[in-house]
């Protein structure tokens, strides 16, 4: 994009680049919800000492539950797992051809994707600094491939800019950075700055710079948690007790300039050098399947826990068949690792202490929607030359993510055609799956006109309607007040899961919380 479109004001231009600016930083774009960070994982856990036959009940066979069960059994514990679903994995979940999924409200969707195509309704990418997930993938033989997060040939789109026409990411990125550099250079000579922008433009420019530069409300770039989400932490975030991250110190501009450390900063941003994170080959639940192979014999499936009681001498869980109901069954153990999401746990009869109950009630679960759309051909590659990556829009679908696998194939391909949060997600949640798919097509066609002619079938997952989580991930109202109680042993029970971490919504947080919980449990048991 060499020049501003005729008839478009500088105000519209700056509004557009302000929206696009956040996507230039990988974690800002990939988090979507404002959370990202390096893991504090230091390597495989070592539980030394004889547990003397102690038994542990694990509630939930998601990644947190299976991590706990796997490591506890290796250390000599007697372990059993109760899992609500017919399969393990929790939110580490993939939908493929022939799968059937029934959400709250009774809507059933049967996946009609072609063989080999899939949608990850939950986690869909693994940052290279989520060391625990990557380590378990290596140990369990899960093959990984690059996930293209940033593609400079993808689009950024705003219905109120450029006549509603999508713009190439590379053009907006390069022109924004270049003109910001020009303004900064002119600002060094104060008399030149007033010539560059109007007062109205300046207000929008400051707003965009605040996001682009991670500035505080005083427009200062200072040591903070938000800045550390981009540059890294002094102490990395983890799971369980002592998991709080510590912000890192900032290198002064003077030192950077004198050291000429800026010389190659944009090399990786050229269209010939794109960064990649990872995804399992064949779908995210390849990780869940790998864990499941290790602990499958420990799992009781379709076990809906309806009552839980802890005491001085042990724990007891009562469950019924999640599909058929019927007679109640009871299991007991010396201790428990509970990974049931607080959104569900709060509805189960229990005798947790008042502080733990208050902690459970403090957590609400964010709403999210994902819509997978299969098309008869990979027109985004063949027509638009987009290979992986993400296009962003201000439409309710939020983004379109292109598959990072099977490049150049002729056959059908699946796009993530919607990934939304907040108000947009609630609106999608309120309508039937077929209506969600129709909306995804309606909005997506404003970016890719080929949508209607090439569409084959789709599937839509609204996370507040997912029976085993009732939401996408846990969000604390007052984490400082209630998190200590949530991590403490209560009625011989320790909690684990992404909500018991400082990496919420990530698989890494779930695994780290489980490792922290079993280390503390083991230390308690062996004295």
pLDDT band at 511 (very low <50, low <70, confident <90, very high): very high
Which of 36-50, 136-150, 190-204, 238-252 has the highest average model confidence (pLDDT)? 136-150
What's the CATH fold of domain 95-151+278-285+367-465? Polyamine Oxidase; Chain A, domain 2 (3.90.660)
* CB contact set of 523 (below 8 Å; sequence gap of 6+): none
CA distance 392 to 32: 11
- How distant, in Å, are the alpha carbons of 96, 98, 429, 433, 466 from that of 101? 11, 10, 15, 11, 9
Q: How far apart are CA 329 and CA 326, in angstroms?
A: 9
Summarize pLDDT for 412-453 with one digit per residue, the tens: 999 999 999 999 999 999 999 999 999 999 999 999 999 999
Three-state secondary structure string covering 431-485: CCHHHHHHHHHHHHCCCCCCHHHHEEEEEEEEHHHCCCCCCCCEEECCHHHHHHH
User: DSSP states of 275-317 as a string?
Assistant: --EEEETT-THHHHHHHHHHHGGGEE-SEEEEEEEE-SS-EEE
Are 97 and 113 spatial neighbours (Cβ–Cβ below 8 Å)? yes
Per-residue pLDDT reduced to its tens digit, 114-134: 999 999 999 999 988 899 999
Structure tokens at 262: 């800026």
- DSSP-based three-state secondary structure for 203: helix
314-348: per-residue pLDDT in tens? 999 999 999 999 999 999 999 999 999 999 999 99
Which single residue is written with the structure tokens 């027109």? 379
Q: Looking at residue 198, what is its pLDDT?
A: 76
Q: How confident is the model at residue 262 (pLDDT cuts 50, 70, 90)?
A: low
Say which residue, 46 or 272, is predicted with more confidence. Answer: 46
pTM, two decimals, is: 0.85
For 24, phi then psi, to 5°, come to -70, -30
pLDDT surpassing 70 at residue 296: yes
Rg of the chain over Cα atoms, rounded to whole angstroms, equals 25
The span from the CA of 461 to the CA of 249, in Å, is 41
**Predicted confidence (pLDDT) at residue 29 exceeds the cutoff of 60:** no
- Is the pLDDT at 269 greater than 80, yes or no? no
Highest mean pLDDT: which range of 32-46, 167-181, 213-227: 213-227
Fold of 55-86+301-365+473-526: FAD/NAD(P)-binding domain (3.50.50)
Main-chain phi, psi angles of 23, to 5 degrees:
-75, -10
Tell me the β-bridge partners of 291: none
CA atoms within 13 A of residue 20's CA, in its CB half-sphere: 28
Where in the chain are the domains? 55-86+301-365+473-526, 95-151+278-285+367-465
């Amino acid at each position: 994009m060499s020049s501003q479109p005729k008839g478009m004001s500088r105000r519209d231009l700056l509004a557009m680049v302000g929206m696009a600016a956040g996507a230039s930083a990988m974690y800002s774009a990939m988090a979507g919800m404002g959370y990202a960070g390096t893991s504090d994982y230091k390597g495989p856990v070592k539980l030394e000492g004889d547990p003397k036959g102690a038994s542990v009940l694990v509630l939930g066979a998601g990644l947190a539950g299976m991590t706990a069960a796997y490591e506890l059994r290796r250390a000599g514990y007697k372990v059993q797992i109760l899992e609500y679903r017919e399969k393990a994995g929790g939110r580490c979940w993939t939908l493929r051809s022939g799968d059937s999924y029934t959400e709250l409200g009774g809507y059933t969707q049967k996946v009609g994707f072609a063989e080999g195509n899939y949608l990850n309704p939950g986690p869909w990418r693994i940052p290279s600094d989520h060391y625990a997930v990557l380590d378990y993938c290596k140990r369990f033989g899960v093959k990984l491939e690059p996930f293209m997060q940033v593609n400079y040939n993808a689009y950024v789109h705003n219905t109120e800019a450029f006549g509603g026409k999508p713009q190439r990411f590379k053009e907006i990125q390069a022109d924004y950075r270049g003109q910001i550099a020009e303004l900064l250079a002119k600002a060094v000579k104060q008399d030149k700055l007033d010539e560059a922008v109007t007062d109205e433009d300046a207000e929008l420019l400051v707003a965009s710079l605040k996001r682009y530069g991670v500035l505080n409300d005083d427009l200062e770039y200072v040591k903070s948690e938000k800045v550390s989400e981009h540059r890294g932490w002094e102490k990395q975030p983890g799971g369980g007790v002592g998991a709080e991250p510590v912000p890192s110190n900032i290198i002064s501009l003077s030192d950077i300039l004198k050291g000429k450390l800026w010389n190659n900063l944009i090399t990786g941003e050229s269209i010939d050098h794109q960064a990649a994170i990872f995804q399992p080959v064949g779908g995210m639940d390849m990780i869940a399947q790998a864990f499941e192979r290790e602990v499958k014999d420990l799992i009781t499936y379709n076990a809906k826990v309806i009552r839980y009681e802890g005491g001085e001498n042990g724990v007891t869980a009562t469950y019924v068949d999640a599909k058929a109901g019927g007679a109640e069954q009871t299991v007991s153990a010396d201790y428990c690792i509970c990974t049931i999401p607080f959104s569900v746990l709060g509805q189960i009869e229990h005798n947790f202490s008042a502080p733990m109950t208050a902690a459970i009630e403090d957590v609400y679960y964010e709403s999210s929607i994902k819509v997978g759309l299969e098309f008869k051909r990979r027109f985004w590659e063949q027509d638009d030359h987009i290979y992986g990556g993400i296009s962003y829009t201000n439409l309710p679908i939020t983004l379109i993510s292109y598959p990072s696998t099977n490049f150049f194939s002729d056959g059908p391909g699946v796009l993530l055609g919607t990934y939304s949060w907040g108000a947009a997600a609630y609106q999608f949640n309120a309508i039937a799956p077929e209506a969600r798919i129709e909306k995804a097509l309606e909005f997506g066609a404003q970016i890719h006109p080929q949508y209607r002619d090439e569409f084959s079938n789709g599937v839509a997952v609204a996370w507040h309607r997912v029976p085993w989580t009732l939401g996408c991930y846990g969000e604390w109202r007052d984490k400082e007040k209630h998190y200590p109680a949530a991590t403490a042993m209560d009625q011989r029970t320790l909690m684990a899961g992404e909500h018991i971490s400082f990496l919420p919504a990530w698989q890494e947080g779930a695994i780290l919380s489980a490792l922290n919980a079993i280390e503390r449990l083991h230390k308690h048991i062996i004295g």
